[in-house]
Structure 1
Amino acid sequence: MTESAPLPAPSQTLMHQEAAQAADVVATQFARNEATVQALAADLRRNPPPFVVTCARGSSDHAATYAKYLFETQLGLVTASASPSVGSVYEAKQRLEGALYVVISQSGKSPDLLRNASAAADAGARVVAIVNVEDSPLAQLADTVLPLHAGPERSVAATKSYLASLAAILQLAAHWKDEAPLRDALPLLPDALRAAWQADWSPVTDGLVDAHNLFVLGRGLGLAAAQEAALKFKETCGLHAEAYSSAEVKHGPMALVGPGFPVLCFAQPDETEAGTLALAREFRGRGAQVWVAAQQGDPGAGRGEILPLVHGPHPACAPLLTIQSFYRAINALALRRGHNPDVPPHLNKVTETV
């Protein structure tokens, strides 16, 4: 559906302007939260939780996916996503004694998240709030608050607050693990984000102007980026997109892939990369249009099918760099498809679920 009001230029949307601020937001966040994160991480090393639980919705839940893979691969701690309705609707009590309960929210005021965080505290969990609004109800009931420091975000489509959520998770994991490769990547991340913002992803913008459906694929740490991208396709472009693990897509959904069904792959630069690239080649062999965001070449890819993925200071930074490049491309795509990405139909900036 075409917007009735005149559309802004790509650089004039709030989405573009706010996403462009992400590098500065992350740099500010790292500096302001360092003492709090170091204290929290030191305590978690002294008193390690038996497991970690995340609780979030929307883009924040995609950040929780990143937390799962990051905590499990870097810290060896099982991390599970809590379904908010279990506590807020079913009112089922959970056994959370000693657990680390991480609630991620831009506004910090959704009733279901508040009820779950309160129930987790009552059950003996340590509640950490990753939130943009520092005086929100969620921040007030948490044991530790990690502010996003993203500032006001007026576009309905979250950008800088999502990247700030990933950065907060990364900073916590790096100090909790307390080993050089991951910890030393933190000060280098803002400049890498600035480079990612300048990456040319115009081929995927050009190629999806008339699309109706697509898959977005990632794996491991990269799955969160695929989930976030699929959501943004739907809310800003009116384009039906579904996110899958590049392993999980083989269990049925891949039957849809062929001519006229495009695929966007995020090749996470780690042990999962080879499998994702192999799947991209398989889909091209079926006649599908496939784009791959990758740090290295993809044998069999045609001209314009490789999207540059900026080399980051650590593989764990790649999901942030991927999404930063993607945000610029999809802002342009939304406008090409006749949509204003700042005001998606039927959506509000703050969604309060029960």
Structure 2
Amino acid sequence: MTNKTTTEIQSQPDTWARAIAESSSNAAFFGLPGERVLFLGCGTSAFVAESLASLRERAGLGETDAAYASEWEPGRRYDRIVAITRSGTTTEILDALTAAGPEVARSAITAVADMPVSDLVDQNLVLDYADEESVVQTRFPTTLLAAARAVYGYDQGDLERSGRATLAAPLGVDVARFSHYVYLGSGWTYGLAQEAALKIREAAQAWSESYPSLDYRHGPIAVAGSRSLVTIFGPVDPSLVADVEATGATVRTDSLDPLIQLAQAQRIAVALAEHEGLDPDTPRGLTRSVVLGQPELG
């Protein structure tokens, strides 16, 4: 029987297509041109926030920061704060929005309508078609990023078609060969690398790391070896590939869109979980939302 996580991974080309089609009517949720914007998130959403900040600044749309809601303290001036929270119930997100005060415009991007975050923002973009039943996030973050890239004017080419073909093909990775998974990215894809490594830890309880691509040689490469699979998101520096391969590690690169690369990393996480006899739908110690001081949400 196919687990929920796999079903949701496979559905991503459909949710990407809808997000792109609806992007023109949702532009304000990702920061208007010229606004100074802060994206806030926790866990997966914090990595998405980092990618969004990089994409927006690279597009020349205004100064943009990203922060972990659990660590953020008011101080810098922003025109808009955008909270990313799949459930709309995460305590640290709610606390950060409350601390921000009423003088700054506040938006939220969620997968569920009419949650507590809705009472703390001026507007709430609900991507309910990208919500997940699984605890592990897969299609919500990638769908949000597909929407943002469309809003920011990035050409996403044949993302839907290529994604559908790639996800229908065999994975091409024998997870039994590897015990160490490394993901590298640069610019906006560093957030994706962090998210990919998190999927391995969440779903499969396995050893995974993530680093900015060109910083990998500055220490972390020391633990790479024959049981390491190193995946590079986006543009590849041939000298880095050569240095990593010299350790005996396997390097995985391709010309796929980075969102499709992330979907492939999600597939690896599920395959590894199943290889280890784990259920990827119910990762150890995790719940759908971190709600502090209250009963955990299922």
Interval containing the TM-score (normalised by the shorter chain): 0.7 to 0.9
Instruction: Confirm or deny: 8 A CA contact 1:202 1:329 kept in the other structure.
Output: no
How many residue pairs align between the two structures? 293
Taking a change above 3 Å as real, the CA distance of residues 285 and 274 of structure 1, as seen in their structure-2 partners, is same
1:194-205 to structure 2, matched below 5 A, reads 194-205=164-175
Per-residue displacement from partner, 1:282-308 (whole Å, max 9, x unpaired)? Answer: 121122x2231312xxxxxxxxxxxxx
Instruction: Confirm or deny: 8 A CA contact 2:150 2:156 kept in the other structure.
Output: no
SS at match of 2:76: coil
**C-alpha deviation, 1:326, in angstroms:** 2.3
Structure 2, unaligned runs of 5 or more: 294-298
**C-alpha deviation, 1:167, in angstroms:** 1.9
1:120 to 87, 97, 100: 100
**C-alpha deviation, 1:64, in angstroms:** 1.1
Per-residue displacement from partner, 1:324-349 (whole Å, max 9, x unpaired)? Answer: 22222332221112111111112112
Choose 1 or 2 for highest CA Rg.
Answer: 1
1:1-354 to structure 2, matched below 5 A, reads 8=1, 12-37=2-27, 44-45=32-33, 48-49=34-35, 51-75=36-60, 77-86=62-71, 92-98=73-79, 100-122=80-102, 124-174=103-153, 182=154, 185=156, 188-208=158-178, 211=179, 213-260=180-227, 262-268=228-234, 273-275=235-237, 277-287=238-248, 289-295=249-255, 309=256, 318-353=257-292
Taking a change above 3 Å as real, the CA distance of residues 204 and 71 of structure 1, as seen in their structure-2 partners, is farther
Taking a change above 3 Å as real, the CA distance of residues 348 and 221 of structure 1, as seen in their structure-2 partners, is same
Matched residue type, 2:254: A
Percent sequence identity is: 26
Tell me how far apart the structure 1 counterparts of residues 146 and 15 of structure 2 sit (CA, whole Å): 10
**C-alpha deviation, 1:206, in angstroms:** 4.4
Matched residue type, 1:185: Q
Taking a change above 3 Å as real, the CA distance of residues 228 and 97 of structure 1, as seen in their structure-2 partners, is closer
**Alignment partner, residue 314 of structure 1:** none
TM-score under structure 2 normalisation? 0.87
Per-residue displacement from partner, 1:249-308 (whole Å, max 9, x unpaired)? Answer: 233222222344x1322240xxxx242x42121121122x2231312xxxxxxxxxxxxx
**C-alpha deviation, 1:141, in angstroms:** 2.5
Instruction: Confirm or deny: 8 A CA contact 2:233 2:261 kept in the other structure.
Output: no
Matched residue type, 2:232: F
TM-score under structure 1 normalisation? 0.75
Instruction: Confirm or deny: 8 A CA contact 1:60 1:165 kept in the other structure.
Output: no
Tell me how far apart the structure 1 counterparts of residues 267 and 41 of structure 2 sit (CA, whole Å): 25
Structure 1, unaligned runs of 5 or more: 1-7, 175-181, 296-308, 310-317
Tell me how far apart the structure 1 counterparts of residues 292 and 163 of structure 2 sit (CA, whole Å): 32
Tell me how far apart the structure 2 counterparts of residues 291 and 82 of structure 1 sit (CA, whole Å): 30
Tell me how far apart the structure 2 counterparts of residues 284 and 195 of structure 1 sit (CA, whole Å): 28
Instruction: Confirm or deny: 8 A CA contact 1:217 1:263 kept in the other structure.
Output: no
Tell me how far apart the structure 1 counterparts of residues 209 and 156 of structure 2 sit (CA, whole Å): 31
**C-alpha deviation, 1:173, in angstroms:** 1.8
Tell me how far apart the structure 2 counterparts of residues 204 and 58 of structure 1 sit (CA, whole Å): 28
Tell me how far apart the structure 2 counterparts of residues 218 and 151 of structure 1 sit (CA, whole Å): 24
Tell me how far apart the structure 2 counterparts of residues 15 and 130 of structure 1 sit (CA, whole Å): 21
Matched residue type, 2:184: L
Instruction: Confirm or deny: 8 A CA contact 2:23 2:151 kept in the other structure.
Output: no
Per-residue displacement from partner, 1:168-191 (whole Å, max 9, x unpaired)? Answer: 3223322xxxxxxx2x537x4322
Tell me how far apart the structure 2 counterparts of residues 127 and 83 of structure 1 sit (CA, whole Å): 16
Tell me how far apart the structure 2 counterparts of residues 216 and 151 of structure 1 sit (CA, whole Å): 24
Instruction: Confirm or deny: 8 A CA contact 1:130 1:168 kept in the other structure.
Output: no
